[in-house]
Amino acid sequence: MIAKGGYIKDILVSSPGRTVDAHGWVKTRRDSKGVHFIQLNDGSCFADLQVVIEAGSIPEDTLKVVTTGACVRITGVLTESPAAGQAVELKAIAIHVFGVADSASYPLQKKGHTMEFLRDIAHLRTRSNTFGAVFRVRNALAFAIHTFFQDRGFQYVHTPIITASDCEGAGAMFGVTTLDMQNVPRIAEGPNAGKVDYTQDFFGKPAFLTVSGQLNAEIFALAFSNVYTFGPTFRAENSNTPRHLAEFWMIEPEMAFCDLAGDMELAEAFLKSVIGQVMDACPGDLEFFNKRIDNTILETLENVVNNDFEHVPYTEAVRILENSGQSWEFPVFWGADLQSEHERYLTEQTFKKPVIVTDYPREIKAFYMRANDDGKTVRAMDVLAPRIGEIIGGSQREERYDVLLDKIRESELSEEAYWWYLELRKFGSAPHAGFGLGFERLMLYLTGMKNIRDVIPFPRTPGTAEF
């Protein structure tokens, strides 16, 4: 049910003269002689509704508790606003207080709290300007992603959250078990005597939270042609960085009958489309980020939307970096993985726009990437963006049974565990390609927020799982 009177975003564009009920939380209150001003916000947009309360129009005991943080319904008449930046304000006739917020103890009282402090009050930070903007953008971005794929006929597939296969060993995994930690069953005899007896566990073998849905998405691509996943992903990496979460969301499209060129085309179209959609949906929020968080945001986003991405083979990228005359923290040489500093140099100094680096050395990329004929490189592509470096990682997948089997052995992975992945190459295999990108990394890019903990509603990191 939408409250009678509508969202504040709708009230703000209504004509003067209308009587409306506005619902929301008091952001600030200012008292001057004979009149009180309230900034009311219901989360529907960045802008607040300004409410004007003339002295004597509202009973004193009600007015007393209409303080910052209180939840209220204000009935009033919309009038033309003399203030700059808003068309209408609300002249209060009656106020109903749903919930008070004691001004001595309400934590969001003052402005200018640190992000760290706000993280500790994740149940209330949602009402601040910054987090209002962050989570409206997050919503718009999620919708934009579905719109992009659905418009192109991609089917949305739900890949499992619990898995018994460790995809590419992408990172440390969380175990999932119902065994009694105080009394773990052990194997009694034989070569594995003393080890945990997982046959007694829920799934009869070790199980984990997924680190990627890609391999499952490939199953679906080889039946539905074009698919995508968009779901939660888990990594038990004990890396306390501003770019890593233990629980995050990943987007992974997978396309049959597609090679690396098609994959790059999709990645570029994807970024341009979702960024453009969010710019259209949340102009007020992005303006706020540009003003208060990072004043290059809008420029950077325009740059991505309006420029063709550069394509550079890895070998060429390494040559550019070697000849740059820069001194690097991590040395550059053919065979080394590109680090953030290198990725940023390519996008910010060399090309001044997003760059897609292709054909990486096979040693530094996952086993499932399609081998090139040179025997040294694979059909991988990373999309690098100014300001953050890698934003998308993808590849054409190895569709040839024998080559894939060789690569599984070469990577010392278990042939048995990948039996179904191998069988897909035995029965109706097809060239296919896809990519993955972290939803929160894209959020960082769009908002300019500095810490990934501040673009997800309830961050999970080492030592923290509050809320």
Residues that bind ligand ATP (CB under 6 A): 170-171, 235, 237, 243-245, 248, 250, 390, 393, 436-438, 440-441, 452
Q: Report how far apart, in Å, the C-alpha atoms of 351 and of each of 264, 331, 368 are.
A: 17, 21, 30
Q: Closest CB to ligand ATP among 250 and 332?
A: 250
Q: Closest CB to ligand ATP among 68 and 165?
A: 165
* Shortest Å distance, C-beta 202 to ligand ATP: 26
Identify which of 304, 391, 298 has the alpha carbon closest to the alpha carbon of residue 354: 304
* Shortest Å distance, C-beta 72 to ligand ATP: 38
Specify the amino acid at residue 39. Answer: Q
Q: Closest CB to ligand ATP among 27 and 235?
A: 235
* Shortest Å distance, C-beta 395 to ligand ATP: 10
DSSP helix/strand/coil, 439: helix
Q: How far apart are the first and last CA of the chain?
A: 26
**Which alpha helices (H) appear in 336-392, and where do they start and end?**
340-344
Q: Which residue is nearest to ligand ATP (CB)?
A: 438
* Shortest Å distance, C-beta 237 to ligand ATP: 6
How far apart (Å, rounded) are the C-alpha atoms in residues 439 and 458? Answer: 14
Cβ neighbors of 20 (< 8 A, separation 6 or more) are 5, 6, 11, 14, 75, 76, 78, 90
Q: Closest CB to ligand ATP among 253 and 438?
A: 438
Q: Report how far apart, in Å, the C-alpha atoms of 175 and of each of 178, 179, 438 are.
A: 10, 11, 22
Q: Closest CB to ligand ATP among 267 and 452?
A: 452
* Shortest Å distance, C-beta 303 to ligand ATP: 20
* Shortest Å distance, C-beta 454 to ligand ATP: 13
Q: Closest CB to ligand ATP among 237 and 294?
A: 237
Contact of 68 with 29, CB cutoff 8 Å: yes
Q: Closest CB to ligand ATP among 103 and 411?
A: 411
Q: Closest CB to ligand ATP among 71 and 170?
A: 170
Strands 355-361 and 377-385: antiparallel
- CB-based burial label for 430 (10 Å; 0-12, 13-18, 19+): middle
Identify which of 224, 271, 241, 304 has the alpha carbon closest to the alpha carbon of residue 435: 271
Q: What is the DSSP string of 52-102?
A: EEETTSS-HHHHTT--TT-EEEEEEEEEE--STT-SEEEEEEEEEEEE---
* Shortest Å distance, C-beta 20 to ligand ATP: 42
* Shortest Å distance, C-beta 148 to ligand ATP: 17
How far apart (Å, rounded) are the C-alpha atoms in residues 32 and 268? Answer: 53
Dihedral sign for Cα 161, 166, 171, 175, please.
Answer: positive
* Shortest Å distance, C-beta 46 to ligand ATP: 26
Q: Closest CB to ligand ATP among 127 and 235?
A: 235
Residue with tokens 């292709």: 358
* Shortest Å distance, C-beta 252 to ligand ATP: 8
Q: Closest CB to ligand ATP among 115 and 388?
A: 388
